[in-house]
Amino acid sequence: MKTAFRVLLVVFTMLAAMAYGQQPRLLIPDRTLDIIQDSGFLNVGMYKDFPPYSYEENGEAKGVDADLGRQIAEALGVEFRPYWIIPDENLGDDLRNHIWKGHYLSKTRVADIMMRVPHDSVFKYMRDSTGEMINEQVVFVAPYQQERWQIVFDADKLDEINTVAKFQYHPIGVEIDTLPATYMTSSFGGRMRDQVHHYMTVAKAFEAMASGEVSAVMGMRAELEHSLKSYPDRPFKKASNGFPGISKPVWDVGIAIRHTHRALGYAVEGAVDRMIRNGEVAQLYQRHGLSFSRPGYYDAILGPEEAE
């Protein structure tokens, strides 16, 4: 009798432990397309303080990603609600914390969709050291822009930039902990390293160029164009040089959803595809004073885009 009681006690203890272990998982909102439409709103995940893509101004979400999120919500027949993301150590952490699992401090807080993620087959199918897919809990849909790296330079200090090798002799600003920072410090055997100045943001790097501390700034094209608007009277120009040896000079940007929400993904993809084809996304970028390049994903569907 005692033995049977002990066995039952062990069984109940194991079941309780399993239930406790699963409890946080069950707390994650399962906001499918039907639930989103019934609730009347769409939580649109966007990076905080990331102009010109997504930022807050007087309590209102601003930027091209925010405006595109509004148009997606409108297409779904629901209200747009910004969901601000503070970046973690890498994109995988952001996807885990804000799309499919939730942060350990707030399991119930997740976005329905997440803007500005790479729409890239290599990233999509990345595997860890054990061979497991890193992003299997996420689906990448709706590419809506092709982004690229670029340099803006002070024409009073430099002629046209034909090669980045010029920055062996001239100072250049980059945002800390970004690909430009790695590229400029390591390329050409590290010969440009001593000329690279690191700043917290691209905007801070522009301030340094305006004060004469650096002669150029490297960053994402849209970020550079956004900062250029603050210096209309300065001779700052966009360069047209290439970046030999850089891993991704251009890349498509799209949207992430949880892998179990395929119907939501199809609806979002349909809305964005329509806006790409009818020119609404290009017009959105134009309203923000930014260049727009159609995602390379569409080249096989619509034919190559005309060069700028």
| Residues 142 and 287 grouped into a single domain | yes
For residue range 208-262, what is the model confidence (pLDDT) as tens digits?
A: 999 999 999 999 999 999 999 999 999 999 999 999 999 889 999 999 999 999 9
Are residues 74 and 59 part of one domain? yes
| pLDDT at position 203 | 97
**pTM of the entire predicted model:** 0.86
Q: Would you say residue 60 lies in a domain?
A: yes
281 in the same domain as 133: yes
Residue 201 CB neighbours (<10 A): 16
Beta bridge partners of residue 133, listed in sequence order? 127
Residues 81 and 169 in one domain: no
Is 17 a member of any domain? no
Q: How far apart are CA 25 and CA 38, in angstroms?
A: 23
Q: How many CA atoms lie within 13 A of 37 on its CB side?
A: 11
> How high is the pLDDT of residue 14?
53
Of the listed ranges 2-16, 132-146, 188-202, the least confidently predicted one is 2-16
pLDDT digits (tens, 9 = 90+) for 114-156: 999 999 887 777 787 788 777 888 999 999 999 999 999 999 9
Q: State which of 238, 261, 285 marks the end of a domain.
A: 238
Q: Under 8 Å CB-to-CB from 169, ≥6 apart: which residues?
A: 195
For residues 72 and 139, membership in a common domain is answered with yes
Distance CA 23, CA 84 (A): 25
Q: What is residue 20's predicted lDDT score, i.e. its pLDDT?
A: 44
Quick one: 138 and 155 in the same domain?
no
CATH number at residue 174: 3.40.190.10
| Token couple for 231 | 């210096």
> Does residue 134 share a domain with residue 65?
yes
Please indicate, yes or no, if residue 205 is contained in any of the structural domains. yes
Bond before 52 cis per omega within 30 degrees: yes
Residue 262 lies in a domain: yes
- Do 190 and 296 fall within a single domain? no
Domain that residue 227 falls in: 148-238
More confident residue, 305 or 264: 264
Claim to verify: residue 285 and residue 173 sit in the same structural domain: no
On whether residue 204 sits in a domain, the answer given is yes
Q: How many residues does the chain have?
A: 308
- 42 plus 142 within the same structural domain: yes
How many structural domains comprise the chain? 2
Which residues have C-beta within 8 Å of that of residue 161, sequence separation ≥ 6?
A: 151, 153, 216, 239, 240, 241
User: Nearest CA to 156 among 101, 86, 234, 221?
Assistant: 234
Same domain for 254 and 140: yes
Q: Is residue 48 part of a domain?
A: yes
On whether the CB atoms of residues 96 and 90 are closer than 8 A, the answer is: no
Domain boundary pick from 216, 238, 260: 238
- pLDDT tens-digit profile of 14-71? 555 454 444 444 567 789 999 999 999 999 999 999 999 999 999 999 999 999 999 9
Calpha distance 24→202 (Å, rounded): 38
Look at residue 198 and tell me if it is in a domain: yes
At which of 238, 266, 290 does a domain end? 238
| 99: in domain | yes
Say whether both 112 and 258 belong to one domain: yes
